[in-house]
Structure 1
Amino acid sequence: MRSKTWISKGGSLMFHVKQLMINNIQYEFVDEGQGTPVLLLHGFPDSKKLWYQMIPELTQQGYRVIVPDLRGYGNTEVAASYQIQDSAADMFSLLTQLGISRAHVIGHDWGAFLGWYLAAHYEAQVISYTALSVGHPNGYLRSGGLKQLVKGSYIGLFVIPGVAERVLAAGDYKVLTKMAEDDRLHQHWYMDLTRPGRLSAGLNWYRHNLKSITAGIETVNVPVMGIIGTQDPALTTAQMKGSEKYVYGSFDYYEIAGGHWLPETHGDQLNQLIIPFLSRQRS
Structure 2
Amino acid sequence: MKMFHVKQLTVNDVNYEIVDEGQGMPLLLLHGFPDSKKLWYQMIPELTEQGYRVIAPDLRGYGNTDMTVSYKIEDSARDMFDLLAYLDITNAHVIGHDWGAFLGWYLAAQYPTLVDSYVALSVGHPNGYLRGGGARQMMKGSYIGLFVTPGISEKLISAGDFRILGEMAENERLRQNWYMDLARPGRLTSGLNWYRHNISAILGSKLDSVMVPVMGIIGKQDPALTTAQMKASERYVYSSFDYHEIDAGHWMPETHPEVITKLILDFLSLADLKKV
Flag whether TM exceeds 0.5 (same fold). Answer: yes
Residue 115 of structure 1: aligned partner? 104
Identity within the alignment, %: 69
- Alignment partner of 1:66 is 2:55: yes
1:64 is displaced (CA, Å) by 0.2
Distance in 2 (CA, whole Å) between partners of 1:114 and 1:54 is 20
Aligned residue pairs total 272
- Alignment partner of 1:192 is 2:181: yes
Distance in 2 (CA, whole Å) between partners of 1:67 and 1:89 is 16
1:14 is displaced (CA, Å) by 1.5
Distance in 2 (CA, whole Å) between partners of 1:114 and 1:223 is 16
Residue 104 of structure 1: aligned partner? 93
Distance in 2 (CA, whole Å) between partners of 1:215 and 1:116 is 15
Distance in 2 (CA, whole Å) between partners of 1:45 and 1:168 is 11
1:215 is displaced (CA, Å) by 2.1
Residue 185 of structure 2 aligns to a residue in which SS? coil
What code does the residue aligned with 1:58 have? Answer: L
Residue 155 of structure 2: aligned partner? 166
Within the candidate set 157, 176, 182, 2:146 is matched to 157
Residue 231 of structure 1: aligned partner? 221
What code does the residue aligned with 1:195 have? Answer: R
Within the candidate set 126, 132, 146, 1:143 is matched to 132
What code does the residue aligned with 2:43 have? Answer: M
Larger CA deviation: 213-222 vs 59-68: 213-222
- Give unpaired runs (5+ residues) of structure 2: none
Residue 4 of structure 1: aligned partner? none
- Alignment partner of 1:245 is 2:240: no
1:280 is displaced (CA, Å) by 1.2
Correspondence 1:1-283 to 2 at 5 A: 7=1, 13-216=2-205, 217-282=207-272
After superposition, the C-alpha distances for 1:196-253 in whole angstroms (9 at most, x for unaligned) are 0000000000000001112221101100000000000000000000000000010000
Residue 234 of structure 1 aligns to a residue in which SS? coil
After superposition, the C-alpha distances for 1:253-272 in whole angstroms (9 at most, x for unaligned) are 00010000000000100011
What TM-score, normalized by structure 1, do the two folds share?
Answer: 0.95
Higher strand share: 1
What code does the residue aligned with 1:83 have? Answer: K
Output the aligned Cα RMSD. 0.6
- Give unpaired runs (5+ residues) of structure 1: 1-6, 8-12
Residue 113 of structure 2 aligns to a residue in which SS? helix
What code does the residue aligned with 2:139 have? Answer: V
Q: Report runs of 4+ in structure 1 exceeding 3 Å deviation.
A: none
